[in-house]
Amino acid sequence: SVKIYSAENPALIYKDIECALTRYIIDETKCSYVGYDGLCLKYGAGDAISNSAGPIHHITVRNCDICHIGGGFTAGVYENGLPARFGNGIQIWGSANDIVIEHCKIWEVYDAAISPQCTVENRTYNIYIRNNRLSGFEYGLELWNRPESSALHDVYFEHNVLEGAGMCWAHSQRPNPRAAFFELHYTNSETNNIFIRYNVCRESAQYFINVLNGASFNGIEDMVINNNVYYIGNGGGESRIFAIWAGGKKFTADAVGVGGYIAATGKDTDSRFVFK
């Protein structure tokens, strides 16, 4: 718990006092045919834009600024003996289709900048995430889907700029630090037509790609990860791992490791790797 006190009457000392509430700034549960354009969403302890249930469909998020999001506790959930915390910039949960997220700036986020994810039966498809600038997050794109009776298809994460995975206010506070540009969790649903391409990724405190704990991601063999640009620096990267792949194979963040990653996975064959 956090206790805050003032030596004097706070009304005499401070112009205003603000507390981040652990709830969505925008709750779009079961919404359809909605557009958000030019909004500035800040200082929420939960997700900035999210839904607790589907279906949601035909939603566009465009030209929005989203920052300083997350850090609230998830009731009854623990990681490594500590209360789990959460908070994504834009989250898609449950059945969702025809969702467009474009030309947004998202930064300083506790968990993922953008995350389609679900653990209840769903149909998620026609998700277009493009031309966004994402920085200062734990994960840039966090993607996963369960249970196996669900379906995830036609997801396009393209032409985005991602900077500073794990280089934000939250990383050192986490019970489970595992920064990555692309965080692919355990997925056992049907998947097809998933594209992660034409993105620029610059500097990570840990990984560039993480298939969480080496777990399986159904259909990852057919997932297209290609035509990206990765800037791999010497700083920030205590583990110096470029990718953790399904089955637990780790590939180091150097030319040899990246070459092994390409050969073993068939991904990023046409991507560019810049070592600094």
Each residue's pLDDT tens digit, 149-204: 999 999 999 999 999 999 999 998 888 889 999 999 999 999 999 999 999 999 99
Average pLDDT over residues 253-264: 96
The tokens describing 16, both together, are: 């205003």
CA 212 → CA 5, 178, 248, 250, distances in Å? Answer: 41, 9, 9, 11
* Predicted confidence (pLDDT) per residue in 16-70, tens digit: 877 788 999 999 999 999 999 999 999 999 999 999 999 999 999 999 999 999 9
Q: What is the mean pLDDT of the chain?
A: 93
- pLDDT grade, residue 237 (50/70/90)? very low
Confidence bin at 119 (pLDDT 50/70/90): very high
Q: Per the structure block, which two tokens stand in for 108?
A: 């300083």
Instruction: Count other C-beta atoms under 10 Å from residue 266's C-beta.
Output: 14
- CB-based contacts of 228, cutoff 8 Å, min separation 6: 196, 197, 198, 199, 200, 201, 268, 271, 272
pLDDT classification of 234: cutoffs 50, 70, 90: low
Report pLDDT for 13: 87
| pLDDT band at residue 228 using 50, 70 and 90 as cut-offs | very high
Of 169-173, 206-210, 216-220, the least confident:
169-173
Q: Which residue has the tokens 């594209």?
A: 195
pLDDT at 142: 98
The reported pTM is: 0.92
Name the token pair of 65. Answer: 């600024």
What is the full DSSP assignment across 123-144? EEEEEEEES-EEEEESEEEEE-
The pLDDT, as a whole number, for residue 238 is 47
